[in-house]
């Protein structure tokens, strides 16, 4: 049996929406929200913002409309939604077209029932999969929310935080030489090896709730490439660091000093910076993004978390409180801007970016009910 939320989720899955190619899904969501009575606008970054209600407080729900590329292990067509045994299959069924369908219809239910106290915004944001927060920033500037609900899949749990992430580029410059006379040069790969070995001695920070401040090397590129019979003059490493609450970009870089010194001891010039990159929206706008996303944590005894917990347990039964294992747009709203933020959404987060991604129909229905309850949170609880 197919219901409205399943039908909408399936319709969104069938519209391919890689990062920078979200136009079709943005248009479809905009249409749906207009029909449901929302005031809909699209900004320069291609984000759709739908508003309902008037005045304060201003509560923003956010879902990203881009999906990652389907990994090669899919056993079916990832863009062909299929309903089997109460599971909806398809790319983005969990991350996060299913949650978006539940969010749109859930907020609309609250509005239709006259339950919205101030203004509720529904944001369908772009480019989250390449850089969290990159385009949601323009929605936040326009909407000025008092509180934010990230609709990423949480298995219907209430999420109160996540580790952030930093992408670091380490640049090691040596001196090229003939491989038959390596002593005439400085091998940038030797410097890279010294750097990586020294990282092993690092004191890994931990947070009692969010876990380890993991640091992993994910890429090495040498010059010249290919390096045939030549000692490489340059090596660039890419590192991925999961950040904890309170950690700044400067602190994350400062932690690398002993490893950079080890590379220098080999004779190389060594430096580390936060990676930067250029993104292009489907509307053709170019954005510069620095890949430092802060961690965030919302106090469980704070008024927003308490109200959300009451709203969800009143409608869905006992609700578990947890945190996201991955990075979300909450890094912008809570981590950078300090706006009270929580997360809630249907779907098992472990399914995100996996082959044969699927979501339970019951979860979609419960998600719709949960979003409706959250949209009706009363004004006095929003700081
Ligand atoms: Zn996601």
Residues whose beta carbons lie less than 5 angstroms from ion ligand 1: 95-96, 152
CA distances (Å), origin 351, targets 16, 108, 150: 18, 27, 17
Buried b (16+ CB within 10 A) or exposed e, 61-74: bbbbbbbeebeeeb
- Quickly state the pLDDT bin for 289 (edges 50, 70, 90): confident
152 CA from centroid of ligand 1 (Å)? 6
d(CA 269, CA 222) in angstroms, rounded, equals: 14
Examine the pLDDT at 1 and tell me if it is beyond 80.
no
Ligand 1 center to 123 CA (angstroms): 14
Backbone angles phi, psi at 107, to 5 degrees: -65, -40
pLDDT digits (tens, 9 = 90+) for 201-253: 999 999 999 999 999 999 999 999 999 999 999 999 999 999 999 999 999 99
CA of 277 to the centre of ligand 1 (A): 20
Q: 321-324 and 269-274 as β-strands: parallel, antiparallel, unpaired?
A: unpaired
Question: Percentage helix, strand, coil, to 5, in the chain?
Answer: 30, 30, 40
DSSP string, 291-334: -EE--EE--TTSHHHHHHHHHHHHHHSS--EEEESS--THIIII
Measure 63 CA to ligand 1 centroid, in angstroms.
Answer: 8
Q: How far is the CA of 269 from the centre of ligand 1 (A)?
A: 38
Residue 277 pLDDT level (bands cut at 50, 70, 90): confident
- Tell me, in angstroms, the distance from the centre of ligand 1 to residue 168's CA: 22
Kind of pairing between the strands at 358-360 and 87-89: antiparallel
Q: How far is the CA of 65 from the centre of ligand 1 (A)?
A: 9
- How close is the Cα of 266 to the center of ligand 1, in Å? 42
> What percent of the chain is predicted at pLDDT more than 70?
98
* Predicted TM-score (pTM) above 0.85: yes
Please give the mean pLDDT across all residues of the chain.
96
Q: How far is the CA of 64 from the centre of ligand 1 (A)?
A: 7
């Amino acid at each position: 049996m197919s219901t409205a939320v399943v039908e909408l989720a399936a319709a969104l899955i069938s519209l391919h929406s890689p990062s920078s190619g979200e136009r079709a899904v943005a248009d479809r969501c905009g249409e749906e929200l207009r029909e449901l009575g929302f005031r809909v606008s699209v900004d320069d970054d291609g984000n759709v913002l739908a508003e309902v209600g008037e005045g304060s407080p201003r509560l923003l729900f956010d879902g990203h409309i881009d999906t990652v590329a389907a990994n090669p292990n899919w056993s079916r067509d990832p863009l062909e939604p299929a309903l089997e045994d109460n599971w909806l299959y398809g790319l983005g069924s969990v991350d996060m077209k299913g949650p978006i369908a539940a969010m749109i219809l859930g907020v609309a239910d609250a509005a239709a029932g006259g339950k919205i106290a101030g203004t509720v915004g529904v944001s369908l944001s772009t480019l989250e999969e390449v850089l969290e927060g990159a385009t949601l920033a323009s929605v936040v500037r326009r909407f000025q929310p008092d509180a934010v609900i990230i609709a990423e899949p949480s298995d219907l749990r209430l999420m109160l935080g996540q580790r952030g992430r930093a992408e670091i580029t380490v640049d090691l410059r040596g001196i090229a030489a003939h491989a038959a006379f390596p002593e005439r040069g400085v091998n940038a790969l030797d410097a890279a090896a010294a750097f990586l070995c020294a990282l092993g001695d690092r004191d890994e920070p931990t947070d009692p709730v969010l876990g380890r401040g993991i640091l992993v090397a994910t890429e090495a590129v040498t010059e010249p490439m290919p390096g045939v019979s030549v000692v490489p003059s340059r090596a660039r490493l890419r590192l991925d660091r999961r950040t904890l609450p309170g950690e700044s970009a400067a602190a994350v870089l400062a932690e690398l000093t002993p490893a950079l010194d080890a590379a220098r001891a080999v004779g190389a010039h060594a430096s580390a910076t936060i990676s930067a990159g250029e993104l292009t929206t489907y509307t053709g706008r170019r954005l510069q993004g620095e890949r430092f996303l802060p961690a965030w944590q919302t106090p469980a005894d704070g008024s927003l978390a308490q109200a959300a917990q009451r709203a969800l347990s009143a409608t869905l039964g006992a609700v578990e409180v947890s945190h996201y294992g991955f990075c979300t747009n909450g890094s912008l709203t809570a981590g950078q801007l300090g706006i009270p933020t929580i997360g809630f959404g249907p779907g098992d987060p472990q399914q995100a970016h996996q082959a044969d991604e699927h979501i339970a129909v019951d979860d979609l229905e419960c998600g719709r009910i949960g979003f409706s309850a959250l949209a009706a949170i009363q004004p006095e609880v929003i700081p």
